Amino acid sequence: MNRLVALLTDFGTDDPYAGQVAAVLAAHSDATIVSLTHGVPAHHIQLGASIVDASLELLPAGGVLLAVVDPGVGTARRGLIVRRDGRWLVGPDNGLLTPTQGDIQCWSIDRPEAWRDTVASTFHARDIFAPIAARLANYERPDWLGSLVQDSTRVDRPAACSDGPNIRGEVIHVDAFGNLITNIGAALVQTAHMLETQVSDARIKGLATTYGTGHQPVALIGSWNLLEIAVPCGSASQRLGCRIGDAVTVERIDD
């Protein structure tokens, strides 16, 4: 059975970079190749890591996630193979691949014979990580491709916090529809009898279940299992003037 290789990068789609990585994968493996996104904002490791967290369980067991948001490309930062939740991850050792906590296995990518013959110092995704991901998809062992290591870089994700009846969080992503995805998990809000969400100057009562409710801003639990603010048939980002990092407060009313 062919394995799946999923791609996540900050390369965008205007340049050939994402396509060149996919071409190397296709040339060295019969794996099915899918793109999760090439639209991570440039150099935004935290957001990339959050997307990895939200997407990894969707890959089949044994699948490979090649993730590259790599402002340190060509420096002394390591490349890593990570075994996490029954899947393989390949990319830079900058926190993109690793959870904030929990046990994982890591191998430093240090076997040049497994890379492309020519390596550009500015494009490890194509010349190092893609060949490694292809080899993993071909069922090669990680210890053929790198050395087991005990340490790896981890980055904090912005965390929501509770303050009495209030939950304080922030916008961590604005999607192509202008929906504001927050770091407030469903479990924090779904048990409240009533709630009111404040973002910018808007105060939104209750939780909607779809994006198609009326014409005013709504709060709902989206597909990331996180609280979102949306404007039906419009852009919450534009309507409310919000962007990544803006504060979101939810007041829970439990009685």
Specify whether 16 is located in the same domain as 140. Answer: yes
**Per-residue model confidence as pLDDT tens digits over 17-76:** 999 999 999 999 999 999 999 999 999 999 999 999 999 999 999 999 999 999 999 999
Kindly indicate the confidence band of residue 218, based on its pLDDT and cuts at 50, 70 and 90.
Answer: very high
Specify whether 108 is located in the same domain as 80. Answer: yes
pLDDT at residue 254, as a whole number:
64
Nearest to 66 by CA among 2, 123, 4, 112: 4
Specify whether 19 is located in the same domain as 142. Answer: yes
pTM, to two decimals: 0.90
**Per-residue model confidence as pLDDT tens digits over 124-146:** 999 999 999 999 999 999 999 99
Q: Is the pLDDT of residue 243 over 60?
A: yes
Instruction: Answer yes or no: is 156 within a domain.
Output: no
User: Residues for the chain: how many in total?
Assistant: 255
Specify whether 110 is located in the same domain as 142. Answer: yes
**Per-residue model confidence as pLDDT tens digits over 190-208:** 777 789 999 999 999 999 9
User: What would the two tokens of residue 90 be?
Assistant: 């390949």
Cβ count within 10 A of residue 170? 19
pLDDT at residue 57, as a whole number:
95
Specify whether 118 is located in the same domain as 142. Answer: yes
Structural domains in the chain (count): 2
Least confident of 22-26, 83-87, 251-255: 251-255
Specify whether 141 is located in the same domain as 194. Answer: no
Instruction: Answer yes or no: is 154 within a domain.
Output: no
Greater model confidence, 79 or 189: 79
Specify whether 10 is located in the same domain as 134. Answer: yes
Specify whether 137 is located in the same domain as 84. Answer: yes
**Per-residue model confidence as pLDDT tens digits over 147-176:** 999 999 999 988 899 888 899 999 999 999
Instruction: Answer yes or no: is 155 within a domain.
Output: no
pLDDT at residue 15, as a whole number:
98
Instruction: Answer yes or no: is 112 within a domain.
Output: yes
Specify whether 44 is located in the same domain as 145. Answer: yes
Domain boundary among 97, 121, 149: 149
Q: What is the CATH number of the domain that holds 58?
A: 3.40.50.10790
Instruction: Answer yes or no: is 175 within a domain.
Output: yes
Phi, psi (5° rounding) for residue 24? -65, -40
Cα gap 250→203, rounded to integer Å: 9
Instruction: Answer yes or no: is 214 within a domain.
Output: yes
Specify whether 137 is located in the same domain as 167. Answer: no
Give the residue numbers spanning the domain of 181: 161-253
User: What would the two tokens of residue 58 be?
Assistant: 């969707």
